[in-house]
Amino acid sequence: MQKKLGIVLISLAVTTGALGQAAHYIDPMLGVDGGGNTFPGPSLPFGMIKPGPDIGDNKGNAGWKAKGDINGFSQTHLNGAGGGPKYGNILIQPTTGIMRAGNYASPRADEQASVGYYRVRLARYQTNVEITTASRAAIYRFTYPAAEAKNILFDVSHMLSSTNDYGEAQTVVSSSIHILSPTEVAGRTTLVGGWNKQTTPYTVYFYASTDTAATSWGTWNGDVFHEGSKQQEGGVWVSSGAWLTFAAGERPVVQCKVGISFVSEAQAKRNVATEIPGFDFDGIRAQAIAAWEKALSTLEIKGASEQDLQVFYTAIYHTMLTPVDRTGENPVWQSDEPYYDDFFTLWDTFRSSGPLLTLIAPDRQAQMVRTLVDVYRHDGWLPDGRSGNFNGRTQGGSNAEFVIVDAYLNGLPGIDWETAYKGMIKDAEVSPQDQTREGRGGLDDWKNLGYLSIEGVDRPASKQMEYAADDFEIAILASALNHPEDHAKYLKRSQNWERLWDEQATDGGFTGFIWSRHRDGTWKTPFNALEGCTWGGDTFYEGNAWTYSTFVPQDVAQLVERSGGNQNFVRRLDAFFAVPGRYDVTNEPGFLSPYLYIWAGRQDRTADQIRAILANSFHAGRQGLPGNDDSGAMSSWYAFGKMGFYPNAGQNVYLIGSPAFPEVSIHLGNGKTFVIEAKNVTAENKYIARAEWNGQPYTKAWFRNDDIMRGGRLVLTMSAQPVAWSTGDLPPSSSAKSKTQ
C-alpha cells in the first residue's frame, strides 16, 4: 500500500493540474518482476522508441531485472515477451572520469517510474538519470556531480542477449558510429537472431544531440579506445561505440535527445527534429502523460478502489505498448499502408487483446490488420509473430485468421478483405518452407487424413485444435465474401478436431480427451493427461489434454456433447480448475475455458472461476502478473474479467462473466457510450441475479459487438447467491447453427 501511494504521490507532485482521471493510475513497474517481463521505461501508446535500463546479464526480456547493476539505457524494448530476448539497441550511459575499456555498469538507487517518466540514480557516478519520451525520439536528463569530468557513452554493439538456443540469441553483425559535432552523434547497429530467429538482418539507426558542447570525445573498437577519434566501425562480436566528454566545473545538467529510425540516420534525425525540437524535458513529459490520458479516456470506471484502478489502467496501458507503430519506417518495401511491427504473437493476442483494442482503439486495430494484409502482400505470408521486419515464430497455430475475421465482424474500416482472404487460404492450403516461421506445418496430413499425425508434425494435437478453429474463421469470411464452396469446405474441416478426441483416454474419473495419433491411426500410448508443453514434442504446446479438451471455440455445443452432456461437462470443468496442474492461467489456450460453463447453462460457475482467478493471480506491484504479459494478452484477459465480459474472438460474441466495478463506461469510436452497471457489487456479491438492457429484462449470458455499438446500458444486479438468470439462447456453436439452418 505504501508503495502504491508513493507512486501516485510522485505523479501528482510533478503533474499538478495536468492529470486526467486515468493515466496517473498507471504503474510502469507493475509486472516487471516475477516473470511478467513488462517494460518499465517511458513509452507513448504503440510508441516506436522504448528507452529503458538494461541490467545485470542483459538477459531481461524488457531489459529490466530485479538484481544487478545498470549497464546503460537502450532505446528499443519489447513488453511482456518470453523466450530469447530481442532488441536492447543503441545503449546510452552517463559516466564520470576517464574513458577506457571496461565495465561501465553502476549500482542503482532511488529507481522510480510513472507514466511517461523513469528516473534512477547511478551510485557509481553519483549521477541522476531521468528519461521521458515522444513516439520515435526520447530525451535524457543527466545530473552529474559538478566536480567531475562528465561523459555520455554511446554503445552501438550493445543488445539484450541470451545463450544460443538455435538462433534465439541476437548477434550484432555490424555497427558504425560517428561524432558529427561537439553536440551530435549518429550511427547504426545491424543484428540477426532474437526470439523470432531472424536471419535477414534488421538495422536500428540513431541520431543524438546534446544541449551542451563536448570538450573532448573518442571512439572504441573492441577494447581499444581512440581518444579524439570521430568514426568507428564494429563487426560480429566486435564492440564499438563513441563518447562525448563535457568539462568538469560547468553546470551539472546535460540533456541528450535521441531519435531512432529503421530506415536511415537522416530519418532518425528528422524524428528528433519533428518530435523534440528543443530541450524541453518537462514539456515532452507533459505530452506523454496527455497522450496516455487520451488513450485511456475511452474507459471510465466508477466506484472502484484506488488499487483496482491502478491494476486495471496499467493492464490497459500494457495492451498499448506493443505492437509498435512504424508507419513510414519500413525498410523492406514501399507502401502507403500503415506499418506496425512486434507482433508477439497473434496466437497470444487474438483471444483478448485484439478484441479489447477493437473496442477501445479501433483505429489502431484497423491499422494493425492492414499491416498484416500488407505483410502477406509483400512477404507472401500472413505472420503469426513478427519482429524486426521478419516473420516468426508461429506458436500453437498460425492465427491471423482470427484477427482478420474479428476485424471483419466488427466492421473495422479500410481493410482489403479479398487480399486478406487470399492470405488465409494460403495458410490453409500451402505448406510453408519453414513452419516455425509462418503458415501451418503438417498440412498434408490435415488435408489427406483429416488429422495431424505424430509422424507428420511436432505438437500435432494442439495444432489440430488451432487449425480446426482457424478453418472455421475462414468459413465465416468465405460466406461473407460469397465463396459458398469454400464456406462448406472449411466448415467441414473445422470439425476435424473430433478426430483427435480419444474416447478411451481417462483421467481423474473423466473419459474422452484430445490426444495424439500416429499416421496409422493408432493412439499415442500411454495417455498422460498432464503431459505438458514440449517444443518439438508430439502432443501439445503450452497446455495439456485437459486444456485442449476445452479449446473448441467454434463449436462448444458439440464439445459439451462429446464430454457427456451438460452435467458431465460442468463436472469436468470443475475438476479442471480444482486440481492443481491441470489449468494454467499463464498460458493463452485456457483463456476461454472459465466462460464455457455458459454453454452448459451455468453462468454462475463462470462467475466463480473468473473471480477466483482474478483474485489469486493478478495484483498490484512488481510481481503483479502471473506470467509473461505476452504483449498485453494477460493484461487484456484481466481487464475484460474485471469489466464483466469476455470475447469469443472471431465470432463477434461476448460472454458475460462477473463485473467487479460498480460502473464501466466505454466511450465508443462512433460517439456513443456503452455502460455496464453492476448494482450491489462486492467481493461476495459476485453472482448475477438479473440483467436489464436499456431497461428491458435480458436473459442471455452473451451479446454481440453490434449490441454494444448502439450504445446503451446493461444493468446487472449482483447477489451473493447464484441465480439461474440466463434462461435465453445459448451463445452460438457451429454445429448448433448448421442444425438449425
Residues that bind its own copies (CB under 8 A): 57-59, 98, 100-103, 157, 159, 161-164, 166-167, 169-173, 192-193, 197-199, 222-224, 235-239, 433-437, 454-455, 457-458, 534-538
The secondary structure of 396-441 as a DSSP string is: SS--HHHHHHHHHHTT-SS--HHHHHHHHHHHHHS--S-TTTSS-T
Compute the least distance from the CB of residue 156 to its own copies, in Å: 12
Q: Under a CB-based contact definition with an 8 Å cutoff, are residues 539 and 524 in contact? A: yes
Compute the least distance from the CB of residue 579 to its own copies, in Å: 26
Distance CA 364, CA 322 (A): 11
Name 673's bridge partners: 667
Closer residue to its own copies in complex, CB, 455/706:
455
Closer residue to its own copies in complex, CB, 162/464:
162
Place of cell 444493468: 715
Closer residue to its own copies in complex, CB, 165/418:
165
- Specify burial of residue 166 (Cβ count, 10 A radius: 0-12, 13-18, 19+): exposed
Place of cell 505438437: 459
Rg (CA), the chain: 26
What are the CA-CA distances from residue 378 to residues 332, 428, 555 (Å)? 9, 18, 34
Closer residue to its own copies in complex, CB, 458/707:
458
Closer residue to its own copies in complex, CB, 51/85:
85
Closer residue to its own copies in complex, CB, 222/581:
222
Compute the least distance from the CB of residue 65 to its own copies, in Å: 12
Distance CA 106, CA 300 (A): 42
Residue 420: what are its φ and ψ, rounded to 5°? Answer: -55, -45
Closer residue to its own copies in complex, CB, 333/535:
535
Question: 708: Cβ–Cβ under 8 A, 6 or more apart, which residues?
Answer: 359, 654, 666, 668, 674
Compute the least distance from the CB of residue 185 to its own copies, in Å: 20
Compute the least distance from the CB of residue 209 to its own copies, in Å: 27
Compute the least distance from the CB of residue 220 to its own copies, in Å: 10
Distance CA 64, CA 733 (A): 44
Q: Using H for helix, E for strand and C for coil, what is the string for 209-263? A: EECCCCCEEEEEECCEEEECCCEEEECCCCCEEEEEEECCCCCCEEEEEEEEECC
Compute the least distance from the CB of residue 194 to its own copies, in Å: 9
Compute the least distance from the CB of residue 560 to its own copies, in Å: 34
Closer residue to its own copies in complex, CB, 97/277:
97
Closer residue to its own copies in complex, CB, 325/427:
427
Closer residue to its own copies in complex, CB, 381/702:
381
Report the candidate in 635, 51, 632 with the shortest Cα–Cα distance to residue 285. 51
Distance CA 172, CA 317 (A): 31
Closer residue to its own copies in complex, CB, 238/286:
238
Residue 17: what are its φ and ψ, rounded to 5°? Answer: 80, -25
* CA 206 to mean position of chain CA atoms: 25
Closer residue to its own copies in complex, CB, 35/235:
235
Closer residue to its own copies in complex, CB, 440/493:
440
Range list of β-strands (E), 16-105 = 52-55, 70-74, 91-96
Question: In the numeric block, which cell numbers belong to residue 530?
Answer: 498432464
Report the candidate in 413, 409, 439, 444 with the shortest Cα–Cα distance to residue 426. 439
Closer residue to its own copies in complex, CB, 25/220:
220
565-578 and 603-617 helices cross at what angle (nearest 10)? 10
Compute the least distance from the CB of residue 161 to its own copies, in Å: 4
Compute the least distance from the CB of residue 61 to its own copies, in Å: 13
Distance CA 596, CA 234 (A): 55
Closer residue to its own copies in complex, CB, 81/716:
81
Place of cell 466462460: 595
Compute the least distance from the CB of residue 165 to its own copies, in Å: 8
What are the CA-CA distances from residue 658 to residues 151, 298, 551, 730 (Å)? 55, 21, 21, 17
Compute the least distance from the CB of residue 521 to its own copies, in Å: 17
Compute the least distance from the CB of residue 243 to its own copies, in Å: 14
Closer residue to its own copies in complex, CB, 169/681:
169
Q: Under a CB-based contact definition with an 8 Å cutoff, are residues 195 and 387 in contact? A: yes
Q: Under a CB-based contact definition with an 8 Å cutoff, are residues 657 and 644 in contact? A: yes
Closer residue to its own copies in complex, CB, 100/302:
100
Closer residue to its own copies in complex, CB, 149/666:
149
Report the candidate in 679, 680, 638, 681 with the shortest Cα–Cα distance to residue 660. 681
Q: At residue 309, what is the residue type?
A: L
Distance CA 392, CA 344 (A): 9
Compute the least distance from the CB of residue 432 to its own copies, in Å: 9
Q: Under a CB-based contact definition with an 8 Å cutoff, are residues 151 and 99 in contact? A: yes
What are the CA-CA distances from residue 594 to residues 178, 425, 674 (Å)? 56, 31, 24
Compute the least distance from the CB of residue 384 to its own copies, in Å: 14
The secondary structure of 550-619 as a DSSP string is: T--TT-HHHHHHHTTHHHHHHHHHHHHHHSTTT--TTSGGGSSGGGGGGGGT-HHHHHHHHHHHHHHH--
Compute the least distance from the CB of residue 226 to its own copies, in Å: 10
Question: In the numeric block, which cell numbers belong to residue 608?
Answer: 466463480
Compute the least distance from the CB of residue 455 to its own copies, in Å: 6
Distance CA 207, CA 211 (A): 14
Compute the least distance from the CB of residue 97 to its own copies, in Å: 9
Q: At residue 213, what is the residue type?
A: A
